[in-house]
Amino acid sequence: MSEPVIEFEGVSHWYGDTVAVADVSFMVEPGVTGLLGHNGAGKSTALKLCGGFVTPRSGNVRVFGVDPRRDPAVYRRIGIVPDDSPPWPFLSAVDVVAMCATLRGVENPRAAAEQALDDVDLSDVAGRTVGGFSHGMRQRVKLAQALVHGPDLLLLDEPLNGLDPAQRRQVVDRLRSLGEQGKTVIISSHVLHEVDRTAARVLVLVNGHLVADGETLEIRTLISDRPRSVRLAAADDGRSLARELVSAGVVDAVRFEDGELVVETADIERFSRVLPAVAQSTDTRLERVEPVGDDLESVYAYLHERARARAR
């Protein structure tokens, strides 16, 4: 097992009455790790804690074995893409990246900056001031400044925001290749499939709590296997359909809401296979079948509840 690059040990942080990160512990090793969670889940705070921009109210954060707030030399090995902070608007892209390279001790900062901008496909506008850039171009400048000194650890807060699909693909490929080279990349996102394509491992934060931590495939399975609710609108009152679904053992609970049947099932695959046959056998004409609570918030809420139940 390789040495952990980042160690979170019982870390909590809050802003006034709002808990941002609650007693979170994890370790991150080389490779790409996704930090997943809804907006306000604590992802940015967790990344700021990793970057040493915030002091935890309790617990310890160590990056390459040290506290970055006490030992700034460690920033030679770290590249950071903050979420909301565009670089100086009056500087050209190449000046921004070259300046960051110089401050991080790169030997030939100008050449390194030009290379980094080329890597993010901005070489043709390198001399233009950042203030005139689109959001996507500014994101790529931020990425270039984070990559320019060849860091061992990249902390990326929603780096794909504002990028078009081709640029996303390019950045994802680049991050994946960095992970394969043994670099450590942490990429935060609130969209699962964004992280899915990049990261081998995922940490899921909900309301500041770490609710899932594992291989991306495991988390995906966990999410797709969760209990679901389905709303069925039948032409009749749906009572015979409800009775048969319960008898068939494919639903755990049924209820009627506004004259429509809502069923809960732990196995959505089986339910989908059985439903047409049961509807046919009960002579029920289904007008509409739609999942309830299939949005990301519901997924996160489920993971949160599951983590709380496991903790009990």
Give min distance, CB of 69 to another protein, in A.
5
Q: Which residues pair with 81 in a beta bridge?
A: 156
Region near another protein per CB under 8 A, out of 44-52, 227-235, 236-244, 291-299: 44-52
Q: In whole angstroms, how close is the CB of 146 to another protein at the nearest point?
A: 9
Please, which residues bridge with residue 50 across strands?
A: none
DSSP string, 249-264: T--SEEEEETTEEEEE
Q: Does 62 participate in binding another protein (rule CB under 8 A)?
A: no
Least Å from the CB of residue 38 to another protein: 21
Q: Which tokens hold the place of 282?
A: 């009960």
Considering the complex, state which of residue 57 and residue 273 has its C-beta at the smaller distance from another protein: 57
Give the Cα separation of 287 and 277 in Å (integer).
Answer: 15
Task: Please identify, using beta-carbon distances, which residue of 72 and 127 lies nearer to another protein.
Answer: 72
Q: Which two tokens stand for residue 201?
A: 């491992």
Buried-state track 47-86, b at ≥16 Cβ within 10 A, e below 16: bbbbbbebebeebebbbbeeebeeeeebbebbbbbbbeee
Stretch 135-154 residues interacting with another protein (CB under 8 A):
145
132 binds another protein (CB under 8 A): no
- Binding-site size, another protein (CB under 8 A): 31
Quick one: 255 exposed, middle or buried, by C-beta within 10 A (0-12, 13-18, 19+)?
exposed
Least distance (Å) from another protein to the CB of residue 272? Answer: 47
Among 12, 22, 40, 69, binds another protein (CB under 8 A): 69
Query: d(Cα 206, Cα 204) in Å, to the nearest integer?
Result: 7
Which part of the chain contacts another protein (CB under 8 A), choosing from 27-35, 77-85, 197-205, 290-298?
77-85
Lay out the site mask for another protein across 160-199 (x = CB under 8 A, - = otherwise).
Answer: ----------------------------------------
Give yes or no for residue 17 binding another protein (CB under 8 A). no
Instruction: Build a one-symbol-per-residue string for 83-122: x at contacts with another protein by CB under 8 A, - elsewhere.
Output: -xxxxx-xx----x--xx-xxxx-----------------
Helices of type H across the chain: 43-51, 93-103, 109-119, 135-147, 165-180, 192-196, 216-224, 239-247, 268-281, 296-311
46 φ, ψ (degrees, to nearest 5):
-60, -40
Instruction: List residues binding another protein (CB under 8 A).
Output: 48, 51-55, 69-70, 72-76, 78, 80, 82, 84-88, 90-91, 96, 99-100, 102-105, 145
